[in-house]
A and B are shown apart, each in its own frame.
Chain A
Amino acid sequence: MASPEDTPVGRRLQLVKHIIIVCSGKGGVGKSSVSTQLALCLRATSPTARVGILDVDLTGPSIPRMLGLDSHPVHQSSDGWVPVYADGSEARLSCMSVGFLLKRKEDSVVWRGPKKNAMIRQFLSDVRWGELDYLVIDTPPGTSDEHLSLVEHMAPVRSRISAVIVTTPQAVALLDAMKCLSFTRATSIPVLGLVENMSGYVCPCCGEITNVFSTEGGEEMARREGLQFLGSLPVDTELVSLLDAAEPDDQASNAVLAEGGSPHSFRLLELYEKTSTAPLFRAIVERIMNGLSAAESRE
């Protein structure tokens, strides 16, 4: 009999060391932006780190836009789908999303569960990820078909999966984060910790900090549930524009060039590293990596 690892998904993800699922329950709390930042920061942890990012938000894919890869086509090779590389020829940040498969970007993807399930299976078994240190998976809100399919198809690589839960500080978001946590418990996925996003806004005019979406609920929930609190990220308007793939104003890109960045280097990462969120996020990534190695040494 074939070993449980020996399935198309198991074989395809054989050389992937860690799989991190980013989830939240609630919509719009920043799963996709946390996934994007996580992938960027993990790639920057070493000059040889290889990271993949898989977007399983099939009806509302945000990753292509956030990585500045809107309307890139996906190529099919004899050995499966070739992911899109966000960093060009360096090819250390690969990406796959339904967004790349649509003919027109305003086309809606109106799929019921079974079709979503098939797409996710294909993403996991047919994409040529190759060797990866980390595969980050961005999920849609909720705990439904996409999540169940992910867990089901990834059974052969179970031992390498963990999750990061994202929330914002409001009660309505925490309520859904709790449901998301119940989901990870029901499916026995270890949780690396909780990120509280958008927790406070610094007025650009007077510097006053306003809790636009109230505050500290995330830390409190982490304490109560015995989760690692990975950190909180304030509202950062620069980040919104960067992830909107707005043409960076020339001042910013000129500054990158002036400081020795080459036009060929990975500009998104360079611009990201200039945001006020980047240093905070690096601390989060450090905690995540510690969590992963602690889990490894326990095995």
Chain B
Amino acid sequence: MIAVQQATPIPDPLSVPANAPEHCPGTESELAGKADACAGCANQEICASGVAKGPDPALPFVRERMSTVKRKILVLSGKGGVGKSTFTAQLGWAFAADETLQTGIMDVDICGPSIPTILGIASEQVHASSSGWSPVYVQDNLGVMSVGFMLPSSKDAVMWRGPKKNGLISQFLKDVDWGELDYLVIDTPPGTSDEHLSIVTYLKESGIDGAVVITTPQEVALQDVRREIDFCRKVGIPVIGLVENMSGFVCPSCKHESQIFKPSTGGGRRLAQDMGVDFLGAVPLDPRIGKSADYGVSFLDEYPDSPASIAYLDIIDKIRLKLGD
């Protein structure tokens, strides 16, 4: 006999609350509150009553906060270490280069927040005011929120299970005083799990403009990215397009280009074609990108003429164009 996961119908992933037990049938299901799994679940009464199909009490507050945010963009990838956080930072800096625009960056990678380091604000703390938490500002028109600002020490591990992460994400969305924003760019951890479900659940109503999916050229990354695009479709987030990062390396000594992560199955371009999403462009591997990130300086400002900067800016133009801005 061949073992296959999930013989029972798969509940809509968005209708399984963060605190529900493993076999939760989903709050939209006919069995909600009545299934065997519901015994002992904190939501059982509400679910069984069938009335309040459990909208999260935070939702109206999130809606209120987000009403002053024009564009919400997710940066995603199933694979780790492909450059999501780096791309998020470049996108933020590029938007903020226009002084008339207000941009926010929200880092929902709770166990491994890199955004504070990449933006050079790792030692900052968030401050609470009467109107909520104020973001940390990199410059006047670029605000940032990350769990990294809330830890007593950067060495501490954040050993949190799903419901606690869900709680923090809802606070980020309802309690951070972003003010008026033209763009909110959201950096996510790798995978398709609690953080992703939470962010989509909370933002669904106020609308996510789309996701930029990042990959590297080799198959081991592409297979996770296929799953991520599948996820976007399952939960109804439009995919703005795919970016291939670290696509080739130019030796600083002999200028010869080589492929470090060889696209053994056609790379990002082919994947975009196969899955019917737009290919936004390829960013080469440039050691100065990693250094800039470690020192917390803007790569686009430091090396504006490098092929990688040109590629980044071209991709960012395409994103703007697709959003109609």
User: Contacts A112-B194, A172-B293, A214-B287 given: A240-B5 contact, CB under 8 Å?
Assistant: no
Given A74-B3, A244-B219, A245-B219, A59 and B161 contact (CB-CB distance below 8 Å):
no
B residues in contact with A244, CB < 8 Å:
218-220, 262, 264-265
Q: Please measure, in the bound complex, the distance between the C-alpha atom of A206 and the C-alpha atom of B85, giving whole angstroms.
A: 32
A279 CB within 8 Å of chain B: no
Min distance, Cβ A230 to any Cβ of chain B, angstroms: 20
B81 and A145 contact, CB distance less than 8 A:
no
Contacting pair A75 B1 (CB below 8 A): yes
Chain A 229-268 interface mask (CB, 8 Å, partner B; 1/0): 0000001010011011110000000000000000000000
Contact of A143 among B85, B157, B252, B264 (CB under 8 A): B157
Given contacts A75-B3, A186-B159, contact A108 B227 (CB under 8 A): yes
Given contacts A74-B2, A118-B22, contact A172 B158 (CB under 8 A): no
- Which one of B133-141, B169-177, B228-236, B307-315 is at the interface? B228-236
Q: Which residues of A sit under 8 angstroms from B229, Cβ to Cβ?
A: 106
B43 close to chain A: CB less than 8 A? no
A74 to B194, CA, bound (A): 27
- A142 to B160 Cα, complex, angstroms: 10
In the complex, A117→B155 CA distance in Å? 26
A45 within 8 A of B: no
Q: Of A98, A144, A201, A246, which is within 8 A of B161 by CB?
A: A144
Chain A residue contacts of B68, Cβ below 8 A: none
Contact A235 B260 (CB under 8 A): yes
A172 to B161, CA, bound (A): 23
Whether A27 and B189, one on each chain, are in contact in the complex, defined by CB atoms closer than 8 angstroms, is yes
Q: CA of A8 to CA of B160 in the docked complex: distance in angstroms?
A: 26
Return chain A residues, CB-CB under 8 Å to B108. Answer: none
Task: Say yes or no: A240 contacts B218, CB within 8 Å.
Answer: yes
Q: A170-209: contact bitstring with B at CB < 8 Å (1 yes, 0 no)?
A: 1111011011111100100000000000000101111010
Proximity bits, A147-171, B CB within 8 Å = 1, else 0: 1100000000000000000001011
Q: Taking the complex as formed, is B165 at the interface, i.e. its CB lies under 8 A from any CB of chain A?
A: yes
Query: Are A205 and B291 neighbours in the complex by a CB distance under 8 Å?
Result: no
Chain B positions within 8 Å of A203 at CB level: 251, 253-254, 256, 258
Inter-chain contact B251/A210, CB cutoff 8 Å = yes
Determine if B192 and A109 form an interchain contact, defined as CB atoms under 8 angstroms apart: yes
Give 1 or 0 for each of A73-88: 1 = CB within 8 Å of chain B CB: 1111000010000000
Which of A60-68, A130-138, A286-294 participates in binding chain B?
A60-68
Determine the distance from Cα of A171 to Cα of B293 in the docked complex, in whole angstroms.
8
Are the C-beta atoms of A113 and B287 separated by less than 8 Å?
no
Stretch in B28-36, B46-54, B98-106, B110-118 with 4+ CB within 8 Å of A: B110-118
Chain B, Cβ-Cβ closest to A204: B258
Q: A110 at interface (Cβ–Cβ under 8 A)?
A: yes
Is the CB of B182 closer than 8 A to any CB of chain A? no
B227 touches A178 (CB 8 A): no
Are A59 and B192 CB-contacts (below 8 A) given A235-B260, A243-B220?
yes
* C-alpha gap A246/B219 in the complex (Å): 9
When A74-B3, A116-B193, A143-B159 are in contact, do A28 and B81 touch as well, CB less than 8 Å?
Answer: yes
Report the stretch among B13-21, B55-63, B317-325 that lies at the interface.
Answer: B13-21
Q: Interface size of A by Cβ–Cβ distance < 8 Å?
A: 75
Inter-chain contact A59/B112, CB cutoff 8 Å: no
Are A210's CB and B287's CB within 8 A?
yes
Neighbouring A residues of B194 by C-beta, 8 Å: 112-113, 144-145
A106 and B112 alpha carbons, distance in the complex (Å): 26
For the complex, give the distance between the alpha carbons of A26 and B230 in Å.
24
Using CB atoms, name the residue of chain A closest to B109: A142
Chain B residues near A106: list those with CB within 8 A.
223, 226-227, 229-230
Does B185 reach chain A (CB closer than 8 Å)?
A: no
Which single residue of chain A is at the shortest CB-CB distance from B114?
A: A172
| Most chain B beta-carbon contacts within 10 A, residue among A186, A240, A241 | A240
Q: Contact: A25 with B111, CB < 8 Å?
A: yes
Cβ-defined contact, B160 with A144, below 8 A: yes
B155 pairs with A182, CB closer than 8 A: yes
**Known contacts A106-B227, A142-B111, A66 near B118 by CB under 8 Å:** no
**C-alpha gap A136/B216 in the complex (Å):** 26
Asked if residues A246 and B264 are in contact (CB atoms below 8 Å), the reply is yes
Contact check, B262 vs A144: say whether CB atoms are below 8 A apart.
Answer: no
Whether, in the assembled complex, B154 has its beta carbon less than 8 Å from a beta carbon of chain A, the answer is yes
| Contact between chains at B227 and A206 (CB < 8 Å) | no
Provide the residues of chain A in CB contact with B220, threshold 8 Å: 32, 62, 65-66, 240, 243-244
Question: Distance in Å from the Cβ of A115 to the closest Cβ of chain B?
Answer: 5
Contacts of A218 in B (CB 8 A): none
Q: Could you pull out 30 A-B pairs where Cβ atoms are within 8 angstroms?
A: A27-B81, A28-B80, A59-B193, A75-B3, A103-B4, A110-B192, A112-B20, A112-B162, A113-B194, A114-B24, A141-B189, A144-B111, A144-B160, A168-B81, A170-B294, A172-B118, A173-B81, A175-B117, A176-B112, A179-B111, A179-B158, A186-B157, A203-B258, A205-B258, A208-B254, A210-B287, A214-B294, A240-B220, A246-B262, A246-B265
Sample of 14 more A-B contacts, CB < 8 Å, known A108-B227, A206-B251? A66-B220, A75-B3, A102-B5, A108-B228, A112-B16, A141-B112, A183-B159, A205-B254, A210-B252, A212-B260, A240-B220, A244-B219, A246-B262, A246-B265
